């Protein structure tokens, strides 16, 4: 018996936030049917690898919701499902006849989850957005330099994770509800947990460092006790007892001075020498590329099986409560 056995989900969303939410639901036992337009989820062609990763364990049908035939097909499905997830821009679901009021009229106890860029209300509600633009609105693009990539799309994934949690809670409550999930809300919530992380100020002992042999290491040192160990390791006897730098908040006020000396010290050592020094003094300094670090590879293999799908680490339940998910479905014409 898996935690969400018996939950039946229709997923009308595309790309990443909605499909990631329903992937988590599927991993915990929900039966998820992906409802795609005749052309398929756009990510089938835009990012096939991501599509395969976030749509495992689901079945798929195609319905053209711009036609009466397609809408009637959806209505028949809604009557025997518990959850609907949609990722349209606000107003689109109403035009297609599949908004919350329309579907609640068919199934009052339905958990209807809308996932949109900025939410269903407000001046930006219908504005097209993606992860980077929402990070910008939330003030979460750290630093003042130009940005041409964001790496992991954490806003998309945060919204999907929050949606899965809210859907699960609403389903267990057993009442019909419209969940207005906003990616912007997720960006604001996560960035405000640690406001100092996105203030754009230079961190004195946090980031990457270049070493004498052209390598890179990463340092993530914030705690005052760690600072004292760093001073001992690098022979900074003059700073070890300097009251100006005793607390993290003080070191941030002298960030340029601390950072310049740190970079100078790192540049005088090879990467291996600096990493050995860090190990001896129990300092949070490691390789900048974890893929080249044997210990990192062993740690990852210890936590997640090499053949495990990407979602497995996000659902840390025993195997007996999760099971395996079949591969993402092919696109078929079920009209």
Catalytic center residues:
156
- For the chain, the distance separating the N- and C-terminal CA atoms, rounded to the nearest angstrom, is 33
Alpha-carbon gap, residue 49 to 36, rounded angstroms: 18
The tokens describing 152, both together, are 């992991």
Q: To 10 degrees, what angle do helices 224-234 and 271-280 make?
A: 130
- Tokens 């992380």: give the residue: 197
- Residues paired with 9 in a beta bridge: 32, 83
- 327: helix, coil or strand? coil
Helix (H) or strand (E) holding 308: none
Contacts of 78 (CB under 8 A, 6+ apart): 10, 84, 103, 106, 107, 110
Q: What are phi and psi of 150, to 5 degrees?
A: -120, 0
């Amino acid at each position: 018996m898996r935690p969400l056995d018996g939950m039946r989900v229709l997923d009308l969303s595309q790309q990443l936030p909605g499909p990631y939410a329903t992937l988590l639901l599927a991993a915990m036992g929900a039966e998820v049917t992906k409802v795609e337009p005749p052309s398929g989820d756009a990510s089938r062609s835009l990012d096939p690898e991501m599509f395969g990763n976030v749509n495992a364990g689901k079945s798929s049908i195609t319905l053209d919701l711009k036609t009466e035939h397609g809408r009637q097909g959806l209505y028949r499905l809604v009557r025997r499902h518990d959850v609907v997830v949609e990722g349209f821009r606000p107003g689109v679901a109403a035009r297609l006849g599949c908004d919350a009021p329309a579907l609640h009229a068919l199934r009052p106890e339905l958990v209807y989850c809308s996932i949109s860029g900025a939410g269903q209300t407000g001046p930006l509600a219908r504005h097209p957005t993606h992860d980077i633009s929402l990070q910008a609105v939330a003030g979460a693009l750290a630093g003042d330099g130009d940005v041409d990539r964001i790496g992991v799309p954490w806003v998309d994934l945060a919204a999907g994770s929050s949606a899965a949690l809210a859907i699960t809670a609403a389903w267990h409550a057993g009442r019909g509800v419209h969940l207005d999930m906003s990616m912007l809300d997720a960006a604001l919530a996560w960035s405000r947990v640690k406001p100092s992380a996105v203030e754009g100020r230079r961190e004195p002992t946090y980031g990457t460092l270049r070493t004498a042999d052209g390598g890179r290491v990463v340092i993530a040192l914030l705690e005052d006790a760690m600072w004292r160990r760093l001073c001992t390791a690098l022979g900074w006897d003059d700073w070890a007892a300097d009251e100006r730098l005793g607390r993290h908040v003080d070191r941030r006020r002298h960030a340029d001075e601390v950072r310049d000396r740190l970079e100078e010290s790192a540049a005088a050592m090879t990467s291996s020498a600096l990493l050995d020094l860090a190990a001896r003094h129990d300092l949070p300094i490691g390789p900048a590329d974890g893929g080249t670090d044997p210990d990192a590879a062993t740690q990852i293999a210890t936590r997640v099986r090499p053949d495990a799908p990407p979602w497995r680490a996000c659902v840390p339940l025993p195997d007996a409560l999760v099971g395996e998910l079949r591969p993402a479905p092919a696109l078929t014409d079920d009209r």
